[in-house]
Structure 1
Amino acid sequence: MAEHESVVVRYRELLEVSSVMLGYARSQDWEALIQQEARYAVELDRVRVIGASGSLSESERQDQLQLLEQILTQDAETRRLLDARREELSQMIGNSRRQQALGQAYQGGRGGVSTRLRFNAPDGSM
């Protein structure tokens, strides 16, 4: 019985870590979230090892299922928040690259557009 209880205990530990991670994602504390992922991976490995060691009673299986559903719900929300952050960073990088390209285009010729117009004017008026 102690072995089976530890499976449920491990799922509770995993749920706790998942809750902490979701809290960090909601508060946009990305550094803390990344650090917490290591603890999540350790707990997940423990669940896998212990979960493979035997069968559970019906009540333990129900507890396990309920905890797993909560973990998956939290994980989905955490991923949604991370996806939104990734999209935000992607847009920022894209904007930065565009600004850099524009800066290089304008600074590269130092009046490059007017200089090119002067030498390529069809009527020779420049």
Structure 2
Amino acid sequence: MSASETARENAQQALIDAYAKLLTCVTKMHELAHAEQWAELIEQRTHYVMSVEALRQRDEETVLDDDGRKRKTELLESILEHDVEIRRRLVARRDELGKLIGVSQRQRSLHRAYAPQQGDAAFFDTGSDQEKGAS
């Protein structure tokens, strides 16, 4: 085997290994999403995005043989399946947070609307208590 063939095979294996590493990362992210560990998921996603960027460059530079293309396709399918599920869970979480924000805003609006009146009612109640004591 020539040096160029060895280099090509090494580059191909490195690319496949990088896709396998990406699958490991996205599998971990899927587990975090399932466990609703959102902060850890976001941290892991940062590493995932950096890995994807590095992989993109390596992918453009590497030519795969038929077996390599087949393995890459299998890995990509698995990665995308996990990614779809992660996104589904993130959308559900976003919707949940949106509802909580809406409830909080309504409570704050109600508090602003009725808080001054509650202060007036407390003033009148205090006066009534004093009158009762005087009688």
Normalised by the length of structure 2, the TM-score is 0.79
Which aligned pairs between 1:12-23 and structure 2 lie closer than 5 A?
A: 12-23=20-31
Q: What is the aligned length?
A: 112
Is 1:97 aligned with 2:105? yes
Pick one of 54, 58, 66 that aligns with 1:50.
58
Q: Could you report, residue by residue, the CA deviation over 1:32-84 in whole angstroms, capped at 9, with x for unpaired residues?
A: 00110121012111210110013100010000001001001100000000000
Question: What letter is aligned with 2:110?
Answer: L
Question: What letter is aligned with 1:108?
Answer: P
Pick one of 80, 84, 88 that aligns with 1:80.
88
Unmatched runs of 5 consecutive residues or more in structure 1 = 113-126
Q: What is the aligned partner in structure 2 of residue 11 from structure 1?
A: 19
Pick one of 19, 28, 35 that aligns with 1:27.
35
**CA-CA distance at 1:111 after TM superposition:** 7.7
Distance 2:45 2:55 in 1: 15
Question: What letter is aligned with 1:77?
Answer: E
Normalised by the length of structure 1, the TM-score is 0.85
Pick one of 40, 43, 62 that aligns with 2:48.
40
User: What percentage of aligned pairs have identical amino acids?
Assistant: 33
